[in-house]
Structure 1
Amino acid sequence: MVELSELFLRRGLAVTVVVVVPPAASTDASSAVARAVEANPSINFHMLPLPPPNTVPPAAVEQDQGQEPPHNPFALLRQSNAPLRDYLRSALQSASVCALVLDIFCVDALDVAADLGVPAYLFYTSGASSLAVSLHMPQKQAEVNASFGDIGDAPLCFPGVPAFRPTELPVNALDRDNQVYRVFLSAFERVPACRGMLVNTFEWLEPRVVAALRDGACVPGRPTPPVYCVGPLVSGGGEVQDKKHACLVWLDAQPENSVVFLCFGSMGSFSKRQLEAIATGLEMSGQRFLATGAFVTHCGWNSILEGITAGVPLLCWPLYAEQRLNKVFMVEDARVGVEIAGYDGEVVTAEEVEAKVRWVMHSEDGRALRGSSMAAKEKALEALQQGGTSHNALLELLSDLGMRHSSE
């Protein structure tokens, strides 16, 4: 959301990011918010009070280390609709609020926007492919009329994306009676009520699925809001330090594109046995490893975009949520990654880690993959430049908001 805010700031808009005060026990979330506030003085941050503890469902605030995100954050955020309404009503008395931009977890705030007559847009921080699958899921669930976990390996076909096995879905989606799954279905059924969908992607990366979204194929029988591909939006990283960390000094001394970077996100975790297999496989490969000739990624969307904008191939090792779907799209459609086999089993072997690292770094096919990754990097940069697809999408959005803008 901060990166999107910076786009608006560069167009002369004032931006306020509304944040629900994290639970007292959530030190990581509180620290992240504090860092964002300190690093972005041009953005106004408004903190909404957390609902009283006895009104927040336990599943909305409890989370074990290394596990998936909270089961029902929608419930917690829905409790914040009343203070959000009060804040916006107050803001409207002294300023013009031209739009409310919502994360998918805040979709119930569409009610607040409707009450106040403020246009509401969804900002989908993952890719267009997972958005298309999520929007079409109620239709597909009705067609299958069974739990996806009970239909074997029969491929699932969704508009604009390659067919995939049911096991590539988030684990909660395999049981049609799973409460978490039902909550997400309800959330995405509300999305077509927004005025537009901003997606953190660029059209060259996902052309078929962007077309399917715009054609209305993902939400048959209902109007589909306009789709604005405004990415890739990635963090610029921290400030440059006067004194480099020792690992950066070491990296500077390595040949270009010779090092492997492994990143499994802030919530990924492995067993001791798996960590030993990773370490052994990397050692057996004989390849330098830290960052970034190739990128071993958990397929979180931010990590994917960071790899693409750096022009490095992705060794895909998905862990949870929509990451398995992202793996399918990056390997089979975008062709900027390769799957690490066994990710869905108990342990990925050291031999598989060794083989895939060697394949990417030394084989002819790996060289071709690296070439595709560099091409994707160039297309990502083009999309953001004046006249590029993402640049033009932002201008279209501003036009929809009734904002005057320059061509710069």
Structure 2
Amino acid sequence: MEKKACGAHALLLSYPTQGHINPMLQFSKRLVSKGLKATLATTLSITKSMQLDCSSVQIDGISDGYDDGGFAQAESVEAYLQRFQAVGSQTLAELIRKHKRSGQVPIDCIIYDAFLPWALDVAKEFGLVGAAFFTQTCAVTYIFYYVHHGLLTLPVSSPPVSIPGLPLLDLEDMPSFISAPDSYPAYLKMVLDQFCNVDKADCILVNSFYKLEDSVVDAMSKVCTLLTIGPTIPSFFSDKRVNDDMAYGLNFFKAHQSETCIEWLSSKPKGSVVYVSFGSMASLSEEQMGELAWGLKGSSHYFLWVVRASEEAKLPKGFINEASEKGFLVRWCPQLEVLASNAIGCFFTHCGWNSTSEALTLGVPMVGMPQWTDQTTNAKFIKEVWKVGVRVRVGEDGVVRREEIEACIREVMEGERGKEMKENAMKWSGFTREAVGEGGTSDRNIEEFVSKLKVSK
């Protein structure tokens, strides 16, 4: 019965961080809604620690060679990635065999995070369809493509850089692995190796949508065939067509005072609150935490600030009490629910792609303070292409000062400029919902991918 009901079985293999797992989990739900069976796989150390509330997608694990501690257990980034490839390839093959022996629906397709290109080799070894999944924007993906193919040499010697479909890019606009290649050699190799065998993939999927990056998609489509399938946001906050999809259903952090947080927001006037969060990985220096704290207080606006437990010690002494009249600090919160609140006036963000996609979907303007990897390029688009926010200026010492933070918040929250950004944000919100809605560009591309998979089966 199960074999008859499911047209095909897709195994989605994610890089083991929340920012990569969430988009794949959401795409898995979309595939299930189209009649496929979907299994999401990540490392065993992650499956032990994550809290999951999703009944439609099966969860499975493979080993990265560090089952007790994952990345934190590794001697170095290089050691982790090398061992993950060696052990991961073996255990992924074992997982495929296990599903084949189960007597249920064997795996027909491996959709792998492009950070793990060795998964495609395993897929081909078993005669399965292999699809690369790029969790970042098409723009960032194309920059890495250019470097991998020698079309942009490192270090960049004469900015601004011109790449078809993209605006002119200064060094500060490039992904940090490109602007400072000597600082992250292992990560640079990882992002460039995404293309080492991608020409053998049966499909290339990108977590974006056409209208958001039309010129980039058109340019990149001339060198490789790709399908935009994003934004990968829970359906409740976009098209509402996937049943019971009101949240990602996955967390590594327990929401702290979530009910109190939403209750606090509901008591504030429309558009009066600055929401501040730097995601699950970014770590600010103690000096930068202090400047951010006093900049938020100095703006005189209400603010809801997510400060993870590991970052609390960096807060200025006495700040929580001094800011209590306007500020509310939590260790974690339901971000989508917060961004959907009428009380939110802007999002002070690190410009991670998931957070940026959520803000675009929910029509929230942004103040960008990017930290590393793709966030700098996302901030460029937020300010200059989509025109939905501003980007803080970093001092020569690498610290963003409180005066700059205060000024940027005021620019987005107040006056004609702020009004214009809010209007632009609402416009893009409509476009994102159209993309995943019935007959939208992303919806059509997902249908095309599913049809090809069922035919290949």
Do they fold alike, i.e. is TM over 0.5?
yes
- The reply on whether 1:265 has 2:279 as its aligned counterpart is yes
**Which residue number in structure 1 is paired with residue 6 of structure 2?**
none
Query: 1:44 offset after TM fit, Å?
Result: 1.6
1:57–1:75 contact (8 Å) kept in structure 2: no
1:135–1:189 contact (8 Å) kept in structure 2: no
Measured at CA, do residues 52 and 308 of structure 1 come closer, stay the same or move farther in structure 2, by a change above 3 Å? closer
Measured at CA, do residues 146 and 233 of structure 1 come closer, stay the same or move farther in structure 2, by a change above 3 Å? closer
Query: 1:349 offset after TM fit, Å?
Result: 1.2
1:206–1:334 contact (8 Å) kept in structure 2: no
SS at match of 1:266: coil
**Which residue number in structure 1 is paired with residue 168 of structure 2?**
163
Measured at CA, do residues 186 and 48 of structure 1 come closer, stay the same or move farther in structure 2, by a change above 3 Å? closer
Deviations 1:306-343 (A, max 9, x none): 11111101111100111111111222222222111117
1:312–1:373 contact (8 Å) kept in structure 2: yes
Query: 1:246 offset after TM fit, Å?
Result: 2.4
Identical-residue share of aligned pairs (%): 27
Q: Which runs of 5+ in 1 are unaligned?
A: 23-28, 64-69, 217-223
Aligned residue runs from structure 1 range 63-78, under 5 A? 70=77, 73-78=80-85
Query: 1:209 offset after TM fit, Å?
Result: 0.7
Return the letter of the residue paired with 1:161: L
Q: Which of 180, 184, 191 in structure 1 is aligned with 2:191?
A: 184
Q: Which runs of 5+ in 2 are unaligned?
A: 1-23, 235-245, 250-254, 305-337, 339-343
Return the letter of the residue paired with 1:4: F
Return the letter of the residue paired with 1:228: L
2:71–2:80 contact (8 Å) kept in structure 1: no
Measured at CA, do residues 182 and 306 of structure 1 come closer, stay the same or move farther in structure 2, by a change above 3 Å? same
1:297–1:317 contact (8 Å) kept in structure 2: yes
- The reply on whether 1:229 has 2:252 as its aligned counterpart is no
Return the letter of the residue paired with 1:260: V
- Structure 2 distance, partners of 1:73, 1:284, is 43
- Structure 2 distance, partners of 1:317, 1:107, is 31
Q: Which of 12, 20, 24 in structure 1 is aligned with 2:35?
A: 12
Return the letter of the residue paired with 1:205: L
SS at match of 1:358: helix
**Which residue number in structure 1 is paired with residue 447 of structure 2?**
395
- Structure 2 distance, partners of 1:321, 1:305, is 16
Structure 2 length-normalised TM: 0.75
Larger mean Cα displacement after TM superposition, 112-121 or 172-181? 172-181
**RMSD between aligned alpha carbons?**
2.8
1:309–1:380 contact (8 Å) kept in structure 2: yes
**Which residue number in structure 2 is paired with residue 351 of structure 1?**
403
Measured at CA, do residues 31 and 87 of structure 1 come closer, stay the same or move farther in structure 2, by a change above 3 Å? closer
2:140–2:175 contact (8 Å) kept in structure 1: no
How many pairs does the alignment contain? Answer: 372
Measured at CA, do residues 18 and 143 of structure 1 come closer, stay the same or move farther in structure 2, by a change above 3 Å? closer
Measured at CA, do residues 31 and 281 of structure 1 come closer, stay the same or move farther in structure 2, by a change above 3 Å? farther
Query: 1:288 offset after TM fit, Å?
Result: 1.2
**Which residue number in structure 1 is paired with residue 114 of structure 2?**
104
SS at match of 2:61: strand
